[in-house]
Amino acid sequence: VAAAARIVVERAVGIPANDLVRDAARLLGFARITERVIERVAAGVRLAAQRELIRINAGKATLPD
């Protein structure tokens, strides 16, 4: 999931964090984005940020320097 978040940010630098969760879920093949899917993918997005695969600042996701 963290890798999917990185791919989405590479394709759309500056994407809002909420859109990042939705787009990462779609990239992983989820057609329906339920609350449970949102929770799980959001955890993966947080992991990606902790591992410095992406950076989230002011609600926008970017690539680290």
- For the segment 43-65, what is each residue's pLDDT rounded down to a tens digit? 999 999 999 999 999 999 999 98
Contact 51, 2 (CB under 8 A): yes
Buried b / exposed e along 12-47 (16+ C-beta atoms within 10 A): eeebebeebbbbbbebeeeeeeeeebeebbbebbee
Residue 17 lies in a domain: yes
Q: What pLDDT is recorded for position 65?
A: 87
Structure pTM? 0.91
Q: Is 16 part of any domain? A: yes
Looking at residue 8, what is its pLDDT? 98
Task: For residue 13, tell me if it sits in a domain.
Answer: yes
Q: Evaluate whether residue 31 is within a structural domain.
A: yes
**Residue 60 belongs to some domain of the structure:** no
Number of domains in the chain: 1
Residue 65 lies in a domain: no
2 has a pLDDT exceeding 90: yes
Residue 64 lies in a domain: no
The domain containing residue 37 runs over which residues? 2-54
